[in-house]
Chain A
Amino acid sequence: MIEPIGRGERDELFLVFQPFLDLGNNRITGFEALLRWQHPSRGLVPPSEFIPIAEETGLIHEIGEWVIRRACATLSDWPEDIRVAVNFSAAQFHNASILQTIVQALADAKVAPHRLEIEITESMLLSKYGSAASILNALLELGATVALDDFGTGFSSLTYLRKLPFSRIKIDQSFIRDMLVQPPRS
């Protein structure tokens, strides 16, 4: 059911999953799906290297579709109370067919939409604010949740929070690293 994205990349792309822990009840609530590329000669290529190229060439749409389908299929094997978070790039949100792709992936995997979380970054909202907002709203109507990733690294964060219906924000790790260096002001 999962189509390879191309002969060259067959079996070279894979997903890994990093857990979220709920501090209220000390339970794992879900996992962020992270894309990896195991190149036959270059070894493991980081997404920061290949995603910008995929965005330039337009291959991002095929890769993104593979990721969402793969993530949903994997999620179908997990308990009902576990969610999966999938990262989306700005380019994917400029293509309206992303909605249909997500609906189809959820239906094929027989996964409830509320178990899928879409992670987007502030910079995505800066580039094409209008179209991203309408796609986000459609995703929320569908029942998916939307998280704002890397929160705090931009400068208009609070404005976005009030304007767009995010379910969750992810505080960037740089803040967590510095959190205990300076004593918190009371």
Chain B
Amino acid sequence: MKSVISLARDLNIDVVAEGVEIADQLEYLRQISCDEVQGYLIGRPMSADGVQGLLNSKKLRAIFAA
């Protein structure tokens, strides 16, 4: 993972980690400076209404703040 992120950085490409499910994974990805994450830990697929709710909630920032 580390080497992929470093190569991507050299090529000016952002890295998204898919399927992040547990907090340890999130923490490790944060340590190695992964740009973005996706997965059940962050959010399951949701309806458009769900998106509006998520964007309006302040809860998320509290949960994922480093």
- Give the interface of A toward B (CB within 8 A): 15-24, 26-29, 31-32, 34, 74, 77-79, 82, 147, 151-152, 158, 161-162, 166-177, 179-180, 184
In the bound complex, CA of A28 to CA of B64 (Å): 11
Interface size of B by CB at 8 A reads 45
- Give the interface of B toward A (CB within 8 A): 1-2, 4, 7-8, 11, 13-21, 24-26, 28-30, 33-39, 42-48, 50-52, 54-55, 60-61, 64-66
Q: Are A78 and B55 in contact (CB under 8 A)?
A: yes
Interface centre among A18, A19, A78 (most CB of B within 10 A): A19
Given A168-B15, A171-B17, A179-B25, CB of A17 within 8 Å of CB of B55: no
Q: Are B16 and A168 in contact (CB under 8 A)?
A: yes
Q: Are B29 and A152 in contact (CB under 8 A)?
A: no
Please indicate the chain B residues that have their CB under 8 angstroms from the CB of A175 in the complex: 1, 17
